[in-house]
Amino acid sequence: MKVAVVCYEDPELWIFGKFAKKLIAEVSKAGVDCALVREPDPSADVNHHISYINYRGGAGVDTLMITHVDTLHKFQMLKGQLETARMGICMSRETQRKLVSAGLPHDRLCYVNPAQDGVIKPRPLVLGITSKVHADGRKGEDAVAAFCAKASPADFRFVIMGAGWEPTIEKMRALGFAVDYYAAFDYGKYVEIVPTFDYYLYISHDEGSMGFVDALSAGVKTVVTPQGYHLDAPGGITHPVNDGADLERTLLAIAAERRARVDSVAGWTWGNYARKHIDLWRSLLEGPSAPRLPGEPYPDGVASVYTAENAPAFSAAENAAYKAGLLKNSSRTFYSYFPEGKVTLPILWDKFKKLLKKIAG
């Protein structure tokens, strides 16, 4: 299979170039003959056009990257394009379904979610403590150390201000946790560090912590005991905890919730993005029974071609509302070409002359 990725814009200038180059690199890794071109290649088995706006084809198997269809002009243009292009590849299930519901052919529309580079990683959440340790252990240092034995340094780091934490911090650091420690109270540093907390931590039962008040003043979320004047700050307690078990349960849940957000796009890699396109192209060339590349199953790509037919057609009222929204966007887009939204004959004449110059080369 020979694939030409047609990038109509300069691939060095904008996001379309990134999509084109990443796709080509990963498709080539999979052993497919793939090249970047600026115009359709009639010798290619597939011409994949980035994006559909500038599509010029019709001689073979053409697939179109559909970024967004937000104006009536784009909708009508895509409708005409799908008479020759074999597949329009939306970026989301929602867009694919809306287009099908609005009357575009379900067997010529699918979606493939975009990819992420995998280089941006979550930083550890900062847990802030601003209290000194007492001999009776009332500040919960043992509970903090016990929590660290169950948690991951990738999820949390600590900033602590207050005397007496050295033995506990030694245990925490031995478990791999980063701890910024200020044994002596320094008001200037205190004012500096409190706004950097993701959560203010306090599990003592002694009327309340002044650090809690300052953390709220800085807009910081709190994991604190529900007692004393903590209770008098409306909505001030983000997560109430009474003991070490509560602390562990709460913070591990926070870490799990964030990890779920990370995992939600973990499979949106450029490798998978390319695999879905290769499977789709093979399906178009060889038929639905064409073998797919090995890997985890996915709901988009080829599979979405067959689920789109279940999208219910818009009612007359829904269709009118959808087209009215596109028309409104068309008007907005039109006016965006003019300074301060003003349309005058001199401005129109000036733009017309510039257009003629472009056409004339």
How far apart, in whole angstroms, are the C-alpha atoms of residue 23 and residue 1? Answer: 15
- Cα dihedral 40, 45, 51, 53 sign: positive
b/e map 289-320, b = 16+ CB within 10 Å? eeebeeeeebebbbbbbebbeebeebeeeeee
Architecture of domain 125-263: 3-Layer(aba) Sandwich (3.40)
Task: Calculate the CA 99 to chain-centre distance.
Answer: 23
CATH number of 2-116+268-313: 3.40.50.2000
Walk along the chain (361 residues) and give the pLDDT tens digit of each residue: 999 999 998 989 889 999 999 999 999 999 999 999 999 999 999 999 999 999 998 778 999 999 989 999 899 999 999 999 999 999 999 999 999 999 999 999 999 999 999 999 999 999 999 999 887 767 889 999 999 999 999 999 999 999 999 999 999 999 999 999 999 999 999 999 999 999 999 999 988 999 999 999 999 999 999 999 999 999 999 999 999 999 999 999 999 999 999 999 999 999 999 999 999 999 999 998 999 999 999 999 999 998 887 889 999 999 999 989 998 887 665 554 555 555 566 665 776 676 677 566 5
Whole-structure pTM over 0.75, yes or no? yes
CA distances from 93 to 59, 169, 219, 243, 303 (A): 28, 49, 36, 45, 11
What residue spans in the chain does CATH classification 3.40.50.2000 cover? 2-116+268-313, 125-263
* Six token digits for residue 288: 């639905």
